[in-house]
Amino acid sequence: MYWTLELASYLEDAPWPATKDELIDYSIRSGAPMEVVENLQDLEDDGQPYENIEEVWPDYPTKEDFMFNEDEY
């Protein structure tokens, strides 16, 4: 299983929280690449929903990861 920023971006608008099966269904319906579906199929399924994309891919960058000062604009 490998994630890239491009692949993970297909899940940004997913209906969080969502179970593994709901995320797979969403990615298929939204036309995400097959790699996204394959990555989701490789996730552990303990029956608990994933609350956000960071639980699927812990390295997903957040706003805090970028050096952008919104006060300047």
Domain carrying residue 18: 5-60
**Distance between first and last Cα of the chain:** 39
pLDDT digits (tens, 9 = 90+) for 9-44: 999 899 999 999 999 999 999 999 999 999 999 998
Considering the domain boundaries, does residue 18 fall inside one?
yes
Per-residue pLDDT at 73 exceeds 80: no
Q: Residue 59: what pLDDT?
A: 84
pTM for this entry: 0.81
pLDDT, residue 29, reads 97
- The number of folded domains in the chain is 1
Alpha carbon distance 1, 39 (integer Å): 5
In this prediction, residue 66 carries a pLDDT of 53
Buried b (16+ CB within 10 A) or exposed e, 28-64: eeeebeebbbebbeeeeeeeeebeebeebbeebeeee
Distance CA 31, CA 24 (A): 11
In a domain, 33, yes or no: yes
